[in-house]
């Protein structure tokens, strides 16, 4: 695995900051090229400190945090949060105009080792002048992107469930339950069909307190409940629960002709 950094940035802000900046700038540029992760006039990338530790095993947590803060304080990057779920604390980073200028500046051919290869820093020999941020780092960034895309798709499907569910309580808890289920299209349709069945059946005319919270409905998989049809005097069947009254056992049947 090869990690590159700009010696000028390393001289000004430290090697750790230069290494992280190269990663962030590269993936922001990747977002720009693909027209993705565009928010508030900037192209962004996202990662947690833990993810940075996996990418750069030679840097500790405190070193990464300090280097990121250094880049923020010096105005090379900005930090944001564009996660769709409130409890998702994955940090987003974008390169500022100053940082972009430094990332795209031409390399001085007369300056030896303008771009350093960390794998050869021991002998000071660098054969590559062009920055190569990463060469297949286990494809972790691509995996993160795919995971994020899949999570966003699941979150989008939650909106359909939330729109039809009659009781709008504890939305964030319901989102967690939905994400835990990870429903595909078939399961989503089954859940929504179950909600509609209950709206037309056992919840019809019911007080709000008798309708389960959406989180409970999802965690207990209530759309799978088997509802026994009950017979009315008109011999019609409705998929709802009959309320049992013990005193009914002692009532004499009233002939239909007498009603």
Identify the pLDDT of residue 125. 36
Q: What is the pTM of this model?
A: 0.44
Backbone angles phi, psi at 117, to 5 degrees: -100, 115
Q: How far apart are CA 186 and CA 37, in angstroms?
A: 29
Q: Give domain limits for the chain.
A: 4-138, 146-249
Report pLDDT digits (tens) over 26-38.
999 999 999 999 9
Report pLDDT digits (tens) over 55-109.
899 999 999 999 999 999 999 999 998 888 767 778 999 999 988 888 876 544 3
Which CATH class name applies to 4-138?
A: mainly alpha
What's the rounded mean pLDDT across residues 35-42?
91
């Amino acid at each position: 695995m090869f990690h590159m950094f700009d010696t000028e940035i390393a001289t000004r802000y430290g090697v750790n900051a230069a290494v992280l900046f190269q990663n962030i700038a590269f993936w922001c540029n990747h977002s720009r090229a693909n027209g993705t992760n565009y928010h508030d006039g900037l192209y962004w990338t996202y990662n947690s400190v833990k993810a940075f530790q996996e990418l750069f095993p030679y840097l500790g947590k405190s070193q990464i945090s300090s280097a990121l803060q250094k880049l923020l304080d010096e105005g090379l990057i900005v930090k944001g949060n564009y996660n769709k779920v409130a409890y998702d604390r994955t940090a987003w980073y974008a390169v500022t105009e100053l940082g972009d200028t430094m990332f795209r500046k031409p390399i001085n051919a007369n300056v030896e080792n303008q771009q350093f290869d960390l794998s050869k820093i021991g002998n000071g020999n660098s054969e590559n002048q062009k920055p190569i941020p990463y060469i297949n780092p286990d494809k972790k960034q691509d995996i993160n992107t795919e995971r994020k895309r899949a999570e966003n798709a699941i979150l989008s499907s939650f909106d359909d469930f939330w729109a039809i569910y009659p009781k709008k309580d504890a939305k964030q808890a319901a989102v967690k339950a939905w994400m835990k289920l990870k429903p595909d299209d078939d399961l989503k349709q089954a859940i929504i069909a179950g909600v509609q069945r209950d709206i037309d059946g056992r919840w019809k005319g019911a007080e709000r307190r008798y309708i389960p919270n959406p989180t409970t409905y999802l965690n207990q998989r209530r759309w799978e409940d088997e509802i026994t049809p009950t017979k009315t005097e008109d011999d019609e069947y409705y998929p709802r629960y009959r309320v049992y009254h013990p005193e009914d056992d002692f009532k004499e049947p009233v002939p239909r002709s007498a009603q």
